[in-house]
Each structure stands twice: as C-alpha cells, then as structure tokens.
Amino acid sequence: MARIAASVIVLLSLFLAKPASAWGPDGHRLVGSIADQLLTPNAKQQVKTLLGVELREAGPWLDCVKSVHRQNDGSLAYVVDPQYEPPCTPFANDRNAMIDYASRNWIDCVYPEGASATANLGCHNTYHFDDVAVQRDKFDRNYAGTNDHDLVAATNAAIAVLLGRPAPPPFDIKDKKEALFILAHLVGDMAQPLHVAAPYLDPNGSLADPDVTHTIDPSTETAGGNWIHDKAITVGNDAFHHAWDDTPSDLGDTAPLALVNVAKAVPAHTDRIENWSAIWATDTIAVAKQAMSDVTYTKIGPRKWTISFSDRAAYLQSADAIKRQQLAKAGARLAEIVNHVWP
Ligand SMILES: [Zn+2]
C-alpha cells in the first residue's frame, strides 16, 4: 500500500518536474562551489579531468537533462528553453550525453496504471526527490513517499558507480563521469527540506499521516508544496516549494568564504559511505519539521492551497538561516564523497 501511495505522489509531482528542481541553478552552483573549495588537490584534478568543468558548473547538469523531451516519433531530443538554458550552456557541446543518459533512465520504473502521458516526462525526473511525511523522525524505505527510484536510491546508485561498482537497477549510470554529474546535483537536492519531506494534508489543512492511514486523498495533494501558494513569499513563482528553492540573494552563485567556513565545520561521517544518503535524508526531515512549523494551510480549490504564518517576518528570517546551513552541509557532503573516492 505504501508503494501505491508513493506512486501517486510521484505521478502528481511529475506534473511539476521543472519547477520542482530543488534549489535553482544558483543553489546547485553554490553547493558545487563550496565543494570545489574543500577538495584535496588530487580530487580537484580528477574532477576537472573527468568532467571538464568544476563541481560549481556541474551542479545544474541533472536539471539540464530535463530539457530532453520525447518527440512525436518517439525519439528523444534536447529542446532549448530560454528560461532554463543559461546554466546549461557549459554542456551545449555535449547534449548527446544528456539525451543518452535520459534514454537509459527513461522508463525503468513503475508508473501507476493509466499514467502513460505522465511517463513522457521520463522516470529520471523522480530521482530528484522523496516525499516522506514530515511527521516521520527518519528516512525509511518502508515509508510512504519513498520508492526504489527516489532521491536516496539515486544518490546511492551514483556513489556506487563512483566507487567502481555497478549501479543497481532501475538506474543506468554508464561511468564515473555521469555518476559525478548526478551526485553534484542530487547532494544539493537532498538538503532542500521540501525535496525530502512533504506535508500530507486533510481537507481541513491539518497534517494527515499516510503511514498510519495507508491512503492518500488525491484531492488534498500539494505536489511537494508546489500547489501551496503565498503571494508574499516571492515575486513571480509564489509556490511554497519554490520559496525553498530560492537561495539568499547575497550569496550569488559562487560560495563566499563565510559559507565555506560553515561547511568546514560540518562534522565528517563516521558511518560507512553506503549509509550516508539515508543519513542525510533523515537529517533533512528534521530540518523540514522547522520549515513546516508555525504554518497554516488552507485549501482554496483543486490543486490550490494557501499558506499563512503566525509571524511571517520571523519565518522568513529563520528560512534564510536554514538555507545557508543546508547549502553548507550539501557542499561539505559533496566534497567528502569526492575526497573519499580520490584522497
Ligand atoms: Zn534536482
């Protein structure tokens, strides 16, 4: 039942695959930029040789893959969308690598019956997120909102390939270069609270618990916070999810020393590398509890919620601090993986 519930969430979230990309390109570049500044000289050299770019530029690659669309004749093509293209220009000479990756990771996951139209977006879109109920205290594969092609599984698969092992199915990661492009992105996604945890709601806007009820009311779906809106959060895209994708504007897209220093203070792992991905997800669920505290959800129509805060200014201030901490953690984690592989 948990699997069915998860599939429903995956299905619904896929409609918003582009906006739900977790951190904008600036966030993914910041994470890579932090890691670049924490690499050993050997790791730095290996990254440059393998990717041709530093981790900072590599961060957005996996979102650029979302510009690969299935054409009417069934073939895949990279379709330039001016809105999403700027961070993808470093890869313009090798779009075939993105098409190739997408083709190998297109349909190798289970879609709910009748979801063929949604499947046109490709299974690899689901690698970017989990939807664990925010009430949970840890990541567990048995919980609703998880599956074998989710963010935690995809991160582990990419780590395996970097360690010289095959990627477990349904993942098809052809080499270390592809694995590193994937990791440079997903380690960032893993630190965005709304990309790991989700608010499941009842029609009154109270938190529902899919792990207790074993059902999810599709009429209350929020698509990972993409259907929750607050006009005051951001100009343009006012979705709650998007507000958490946004990074503090003063950070730009290259990590300042202050942020790198926060990353340096992140404790190194004591557990084996195979467990890191689930440990990070558990950590992010705890952060998501903060991100979803002191908020009130109100259903105003199909696929449309509003959110309000007991103290908006305090909430936004807290969110700003959380984002800096999460970006720093992601940068430190990415560096730790790469330094582990190439000490
Ligand atoms: Zn992503």
Distance of CA 204 from the midpoint of ligand 1 (Å):
30
Helix (H) or strand (E) holding 220: none
Distance 245 CA to ligand 1 centre (A): 10
Q: Which of 6-20, 57-71, 299-313, 321-335 has the highest mean pLDDT?
A: 321-335
pLDDT at position 165 over 80 = yes
Split at pLDDT 50, 70, 90, the class of 236 is low
User: Is residue 71 scored above 90 in pLDDT?
Assistant: no
CA of 250 to the centre of ligand 1 (A): 22
Q: What is the pLDDT of residue 241?
A: 85
How many A from CA of 127 to the centre of ligand 1? 8
For residue 28, how far is its CA from the centre of ligand 1 (angstroms)?
A: 9
Q: Are 253 and 26 in contact (CB under 8 A)?
A: yes
The answer to whether 189 and 129 are in contact (CB under 8 A) is: yes
Residues 197-226: what's their mean pLDDT? 87
What separation in angstroms does the CA of 94 have from each of 52, 88, 100, 101, 185? 11, 10, 10, 12, 18
Question: What is the whole-number distance in angstroms between the Cα of residue 164 and the centre of ligand 1?
Answer: 24
The CATH number linked to 58 is 1.10.575.10
Bond preceding residue 218 cis, omega within 30 of 0: no
Residue 61 CA to ligand 1 center (angstroms) comes to 9
- What's the total number of domains in the chain? 1
Confidence of residue 295 (pLDDT cuts 50, 70, 90): very high
Is-contact 273 163, C-beta < 8 A?
Answer: yes
Whole-number Å distance between alpha carbons of 319 and 317:
5
Stretch 91-107: mean pLDDT: 93
At residue 119, does pLDDT exceed 80?
A: no
Residue 16 has pLDDT above 60, yes or no: no
Burial class (CB in 10 A: 0-12, 13-18, 19+), 213: middle
Closest CA relative to residue 30, chosen from 242, 244, 185:
185
The answer on pLDDT for 233 being more than 90 is: no
pLDDT band of 5, cuts 50, 70, 90: very low
Q: Report CA(186)–ligand 1 centroid distance (Å).
A: 6
Question: What was the pLDDT predicted at 328?
Answer: 98
* Domain of 280, in residue numbers: 2-341
Q: How confident is the model at residue 227 (pLDDT cuts 50, 70, 90)?
A: confident
Cα 190 to ligand 1 centre (Å): 9
Q: Which candidate, 185, 217, 179, 177, places its Cα nearest to that of 201?
A: 217
**Number of C-alpha atoms within 13 angstroms, CB side, residue 115?**
20
Span 20-42, average pLDDT:
90
**Residue 52 burial (CB count, 10 A):** 14
Pairwise pLDDT comparison (193 vs 118), residue with the higher score:
193
Give the distance (Å) from ligand 1 centre to CA of residue 216.
Answer: 24
pLDDT for 48 beyond 60? yes
- Both tokens of 8, joined, read 């429903």
Q: Is the pLDDT of residue 211 over 90?
A: yes
Banded pLDDT at 4 (limits 50, 70, 90): very low
Query: In the block, which residue shows the tokens 């699997």?
Result: 3
pLDDT of residue 284: 98
- Centre of ligand 1 from the C-alpha of residue 299, in Å: 27
- Supply the pLDDT for residue 287: 98
Q: How far apart are CA 222 and CA 10, in angstroms?
A: 12
Task: Determine the distance separating the centroid of ligand 1 and the alpha carbon of 310, expressed in angstroms.
Answer: 30
Q: In this structure, what token pair is assigned to residue 271? A: 């557990």
pLDDT value at residue 272: 96
* Range in 26-40, 160-174, 229-243 the model is least confident about: 229-243
Tell me the CA–centroid distance for residue 62 and ligand 1, in Å: 7
